[in-house]
Structure 1
Amino acid sequence: MARIGYARVSTLDQDLDVQLARLRGEGCGVIRSEKVSGASRDGRAELATILEFLRPGDELVVTRLDRLGRDTRDVLNVVHEAEQRGASVTVLDPHVSTRGEMGHVVLTVLGMVAQMERRFIKERQREGIARAKGVGVYTGGQRRLDRERVRALHAAGLGPAAIAAALGCSRMQVYRILQEPR
């Protein structure tokens, strides 16, 4: 029976140290961590690895429920997958475990709260962008591709596939740039 810790932050500039220390302090022999959004399970390779290797009697430990995900369905799916393997899920803050009958109810409610919190964050973000646009401060995201370079490569005779390979982007991005009015 192993205690396996999982730590997650959403962005590369966020720090995992507090979560990792807490999981070590709780006796987790194995700890996997990643820096990826919790909005969905896409791209969360470390969580997938943990779920794949859980054995009967193991315990998946996270510091807070939102570390497992910000979508109720995703959180409940993680819990279900762990239980299908005979393992349990424990959240440290607040302390909830699926070993007890009430654990499922509490985890479901907490999962709904995490999802609601994500919706609030998105709404505040939209409001902030609208305010910034209103005063002329918001200019949008940074362009990832040099449009003039795409056009120059095309003018030099390269096709969209070759341009995409040279610039490390998709052909669709190249097509869109080439179709833009100058």
Structure 2
Amino acid sequence: MLRIGYVRLRDAASAEDTATLKAAGCHVVRAEEPDGCQDETAALDSILDFIGEGDQLVVARLASLGRSAHAMLDVLRRLDSRGATVEALKEGVSNADAEGRAMLAVLQVLASAEPAFSARRRAPASEIRELQRAGVGPVEIARRLGVSRMTVWRKLRADA
């Protein structure tokens, strides 16, 4: 079992989080600093693409998984689809046990109460054009930028 640590660098406590993850036995610790730019979860996305069955994503805080309940649920679903688990050290929960499954149920309730648009962002037309010039299709552009396909099509149509 591979234990992969993930930390979002936001403040001075983040350095402590990195040390905590290493002390928790993480083989690899990936960190990223969200800056509000186009892909502020690139490290997390690469972990989710790489992680395998039986592996564990370890975070210091559950909130590291996303800005909203929708985003956290998405990460948990992606991990589940790959046969991996998550452990949040500060909260002391893992989705591998009964408490973790209860946590998932609570997140689902919270996500249902959140406005659907809260997790979306607007993608600048320049990013969309740049990806299109690189040969990326509209559906993949939408997935990479975290916007709807319709947003991509509107921006591309406006440029035509």
- The TM-score with structure 1 as length reference comes to 0.54
1:110 CA drift (Å): 6.1
Are residues 1:92 and 2:92 paired? no
Runs of 4+ in structure 1 deviating by more than 4 angstroms, as ranges, are none
1:9 CA drift (Å): 2.8
Partner of 1:104: 101
User: Which residue identity is paired with 1:69?
Assistant: G
2:74 to 71, 74, 77: 77
Give the distance between the partners of 2:61 and 2:105, measured in 1 at CA.
13
Give the distance between the partners of 1:17 and 1:107, measured in 2 at CA.
28
2:43 match: secondary structure:
helix
Are residues 1:63 and 2:60 paired? yes
Give the distance between the partners of 2:93 and 2:15, measured in 1 at CA.
22
1:98 CA drift (Å): 0.7
Give the distance between the partners of 1:76 and 1:27, measured in 2 at CA.
25
Partner of 1:18: 16
Aligned pairs (5 A) from 1:26-65: 26-36=24-34, 42-65=39-62
Any conservation in 2 of the 1:90–1:97 contact (CA below 8 Å)? Answer: yes
Partner of 1:153: none
Q: Which moved more, 1:1-10 or 1:56-65?
A: 1-10
1:43 CA drift (Å): 2.4
1:67 CA drift (Å): 1.0
Are residues 1:4 and 2:4 paired? yes
1:50 match: secondary structure:
helix
Ranges in structure 2 where 5+ consecutive residues have no aligned partner: 115-160
1:78 match: secondary structure:
helix
Give the distance between the partners of 2:107 and 2:17, measured in 1 at CA.
19
| RMSD of equivalent CA atoms | 2.7
1:107 CA drift (Å): 4.2
Give the distance between the partners of 2:105 and 2:39, measured in 1 at CA.
21
Give the distance between the partners of 2:28 and 2:60, measured in 1 at CA.
14
1:17 CA drift (Å): 1.0
Aligned pairs (5 A) from 1:84-163: 84-109=81-106, 112=110
Any conservation in 1 of the 2:73–2:107 contact (CA below 8 Å)? Answer: no
Q: 1:109 to 1:9 in 2, by over 3 A?
A: farther
User: Which residue identity is paired with 2:99?
Assistant: M
Partner of 2:145: none
Give the distance between the partners of 1:20 and 1:43, measured in 2 at CA.
18
Q: Kindly, what percent of the aligned residue pairs are identical?
A: 38
